[in-house]
Amino acid sequence: MQLNAYTMKLRRDVFQALADPTRRAILLLLASQSMTAGAIAANFDSARPTVSKHLQILTECDLLAQEQSGREIHYFINGKKMKEVAEFIEPFRSMWEGRFSKLEALMKKYKI
Amino acid sequence: MQLNAYTMKLRRDVFQALADPTRRAILLLLASQSMTAGAIAANFDSARPTVSKHLQILTECDLLAQEQSGREIHYFINGKKMKEVAEFIEPFRSMWEGRFSKLEALMKKYKI
DNA sequence: AGATTAATTAGTAAATTAGTTAATGAGTCG
DNA sequence: CGACTCATTAACTAATTTACTAATTAATCT
């Protein structure tokens, strides 16, 4: 079997999915409501198959789920998957919001 | 609203930097203390110039800052930049932690 | 049935990325 | 000064990503 971009197993994790600005815009679009592939694509300049591909990538890594109704496919966000990203940045939170963040930064820097 | 290359952020941004697992590991390493390039590289199998490149990318997008001391370069995290990621995730938070997340999801889905 | 619509899959080209080894720059120390 | 060390830059390759047009699948409408 010939392997191509569609059949090959590629690296697909949440962070890689978020790396593309179009995909982030899709997620923000869907934050308020679910939409069909066509309605989503209407918000972008890219060709429809391009948006379709982005939707597939987001779905593969579980950031989106789909539900077919007739010939339309509705896409909606899987909030739980976003949690993975939130958990990654959690250890850094104190670095931008704590009162003592500057002091802490210095202490870390000089390994006190 | 039409989203295009003007309204979207271009490459080499925080999200693109986080897409690589080695770079995420570097950030986690530095979460507890600053380290020299050599000490960081010692934690990975990649060749040193490879790690150096990752450090450069992380520095370019301000996730890391560097400070030279003699011939060593100390790298440390710029927590504020992480905030950008946190802010992107924020609108989705209710989707994984709210009591009513399932109900909300349904309401959004059917645009009630 | 035939035409239309919604969306994906296929195939291909261009750009970007991550990795390598070799070479270079710049402190440190005998 | 010359050898050694820390780290980056240069040059190159292989793999991956993103994009497009054309073709296909499947549901709906007249």
User: What's the mean pLDDT in A97-102?
Assistant: 66
Please give the Cα distance from B37 to B73 (Å, whole number).
6
**What are the pLDDT digits (tens) for B12-48?**
799 999 999 999 999 999 999 999 999 999 999 999 9
Q: How far lies A102's CA from each of A37, B33, B106, in Å?
A: 46, 13, 43
Please give the Cα distance from A105 to A28 (Å, whole number).
32
**What are the pLDDT digits (tens) for B41-81?**
999 999 999 999 999 999 999 999 999 999 999 999 999 99
Please give the Cα distance from A24 to A18 (Å, whole number).
6
φ, ψ for residue B111, nearest 5 deg: 50, 40
- Nearest protein residue to nucleotide D19 (CA to C1' distance) is A50
Per domain, the residue ranges of chain A are 14-109
Enumerate the β-bridge partners of residue B68.
B73
Q: How many CB pairs under 8 A join A and B?
A: 115
Question: In the CATH scheme, what is the code of domain A14-109?
Answer: 1.10.10.10
Q: Are A96 and B83 in contact (CB under 8 A)?
A: yes
Cβ contacts (< 8 Å) between B67 and chain A: which residues?
Answer: 109
Alpha carbon of A109: minimum distance to chain B alpha carbons (Å): 5
Enumerate the β-bridge partners of residue B75.
B35, B66
CATH topology of domain B14-79: Arc Repressor Mutant, subunit A (1.10.10)
User: What's the mean pLDDT in A63-73?
Assistant: 96
pLDDT score of A7 more than 60: no
Asked whether the beta carbons of residue A86 and residue B83 sit closer than 8 angstroms, the reply is no
Burial B35-70 (b: 16+ CB within 10 A, else e): bebeebbeeeeeeeeebbebbebbbebebbbeeeee
CB atoms within 10 A of CB A76: 18
